[in-house]
Amino acid sequence: MSNSVPSPNYIYLNLLLSQLSHTDIIQIDKNMVFVEVCLWTLLAFVLTWTAYHVTNRRKKTTKLADGGVEEIRDGGPDVIIVGAGVGGSALAYALAKDGRRVHVIERNLKEPERMMGEFMQPGGRLLLSKLDLQDCLEGIDAQKVTGLTLYKDGKEAPAPFPVEGNNFPYEPSGRMFYNGRFVQRLRQKASSLPNVWLEEGTVRSMVEENGVIKGVTYKNSSGQETTAFAPLTVVCDGCYSNLRRSLNDNNAEVISYTVGYVSKNCRLEEPEKLHLIMAKPSFTMLYQISSTDVRCGFELFSNYFPSIANGEMASFAKNDIAPQVPPKLRKIFLKGIEEGANIKVTPGKRMSATLSRKKGVIVLGDAFNMRHPAIASGMMVLLSDILILRRLLQPLGNLGDVDKVSEVIKSFYVKRKPMSATVNTLGNAFSQVLIASTDQAREAMRQGCYDYLSSGGLRTSGMMALFGGMNPRPLSLIYHLFAITLSSIGQLLSPFPSPLRIWHSLRLCGVSLKLLIPHLKAEGVIQMMSPTNAAVYRKTYMTAV
């Protein structure tokens, strides 16, 4: 077997190693181990980074392939608003003017054809102007309204908004209009700002992480499922909100139905008045919503509701409601029916306001709080809420601080009470008074309300200031409610207090308390009875523009 000859490199390495000390060899071993550890650490980092991004890309690709879901997060909005009706559009404009980036998602951006939201009270006009949106009432053929004309049992009485001594810093008149035209003007004004993105889409659900709402999932106009994120989400999608159940514990109660239609190419004898008729089974009203069109409506209840499809509702309106309409209004009331106007029905709902169980979200408008539409003040409460919320959010630079935003929401809930409690109580109480009844106590209350509103002086001006949102003070409302009760009792007991009349008077007191006590519980006794809250609200939100 032949012997192999060592290579020169091998001989050189052995000579080099023979000259190294034992300590030097140990040091070299340590250095080699350190280099080896570094190389393995670097390799592990590269493999982990690669695996993470490949997996993440596969997940996104799978989502896009299966459900067509796209994420919008980086450089996204500060606020997402669900719904671009009156509330959503007005809030978007207000927040955008404060420098917020706002993404508004609306199910249908075509002009709405609603029967409600056609009356802006004087207080609502003031709040609209404080949001710099008063010009949205221009160019839509809105009609000026200066008060009510009441009708009962062949009598009529004017009830104007108070003009002198009302301590109201704005023109004391309202506006009547087509709701859809007003909404479109608000949308145009909001979307004119560069930091407002108004998009058509249907919100499916909220994105939630650990009890905090992070955004929404929606289907856009092209049918693609999209997820958008923002530090704050505002749900303002109306009385039919499909998101409310997952956020709040309150439930809407349907209390009646308003049936309405438009009589076209006609004008009321007093177009600047809302004509309110105390008829049977409840109220009937007519008001001028454009220079040529009149809205006609009446209230019905679920115990008797004629079919619209087979013509029963038109016959009912013609044969049962029209004879109760005063002669000077009857021709216009019948005109729409005879011309085959489109009859619409809107449920009248009642729902107390409650705070959301989740953080990172605010609920507004009819998705948050509803009252009977008889006094047409829902938009006024909504604009008040927007003005309060905007001012509370202005100092916050970071809307992602859920604890600070939660404190703002709690403060908002208290500050809104003077306006919301006054309107909620008045709307629901007045609607009960308008219902015709064979009960002597209830009918006495109904007659007493008509007499009180038509008596003139401080009685009429005080009540109309409440109706118009010119004096949002719950204590003032309680005073007038008890004054109407005492006046009605006086009529019941005259000319002398018999045992039966005393009994009916006691029952009338019970009726009055039933109109008030549920609202004291719902709105809070302290908030309703405190004059300080109302004074602060008036000073902060109802001063001259």
Q: 406-433 pLDDT, tens per residue?
A: 999 999 999 999 999 999 999 999 999 9
CA distances from 453 to 6, 272, 311, 375 (A): 122, 18, 37, 14
Tokens of 519: 């609202």
- pLDDT, one tens digit per residue, over 63-79 is 333 333 444 455 789 99
In the chain, the largest separation of any two C-alpha atoms, in whole Å, equals: 146
What are 295's two structure tokens?
């809205």
Cis upstream peptide for 169 (omega within 30°): no
| pLDDT averaged over every residue in the chain | 88
Q: Taking 60 as the threshold, does the pLDDT of residue 4 lie above it? A: no
The pTM is what? 0.85
Q: How confident is the model at residue 30 (pLDDT cuts 50, 70, 90)?
A: very low
User: Which amino acid, residue 495?
Assistant: P
Span 489-505, average pLDDT: 90
CA 426/CA 434 separation, integer angstroms = 12
pLDDT digits (tens, 9 = 90+) for 125-181: 999 999 999 999 999 999 999 999 999 999 999 999 999 877 899 999 999 999 999
Find, among 474, 444, 376, 418, the residue nearest to 176 by Cα. Answer: 376
Instruction: Specify the 3-state DSSP secondary structure of 416.
Output: coil
Contacts of 168 (CB under 8 A, 6+ apart): 122, 126, 162, 465, 470, 471, 542
Higher model confidence: residue 335 or residue 32? 335
pLDDT single digits (tens) 259-286: 999 999 999 999 999 999 999 999 999 9
